Amino acid sequence: MEDSLRLVIDVETRIGVPASERSAEQLLRISLEVPIDASAVSIADDPAVGIDYAKVSTDLHLLAKTERKTIERFAEDIASLLLRSYPVQKVRVTVSKSPPLEGVLEATISIERQKE
């Protein structure tokens, strides 16, 4: 069994296909799952050995300042940021928007990306 770290972060961003939908910020829920060696962090009892949750949260809030049309694009941007800026080899990103439009309770995209 592989250890993994899961972070769930809410961000506000301007997102949506029609410009009218992007006129106001919307709340998105981001779930990140990253394989880690939890034993290394637990033995050292030092967060510097692992992933700094506060920095991840700050980075995602900064990323959310850019307007996008789709949650798919936002998920790709998050995955790219994490793989580029953190000591991770693989990441699973889930972005949920609710309600995305009238009559739909939630839209969610999940992607998995890894360093090449």
Could you give phi then psi for residue 82, rounded to 5 degrees?
Answer: -65, -45
63/74 Cα distance (integer angstroms) = 9
Question: What is the domain partition of the chain in residue ranges?
Answer: 4-114
Task: Quickly count helices (H) and strands (E) in the chain.
Answer: 3, 4
Tell which residue, 109, 111, 95, 93, has the closest CA to residue 33.
93
The CATH number corresponding to 4-114 among 3.40.1180.10, 3.30.70.1520, 1.10.1040.10, 3.30.1130.10 equals: 3.30.1130.10
SS3 of 26, please?
strand
Instruction: pLDDT tens for the chain, 116 residues: list them.
Output: 588 999 999 999 999 998 988 999 999 999 999 998 888 778 888 777 788 889 999 999 999 999 999 999 999 999 999 999 998 999 999 999 988 777 888 899 999 999 98
pTM for the structure as a whole: 0.91
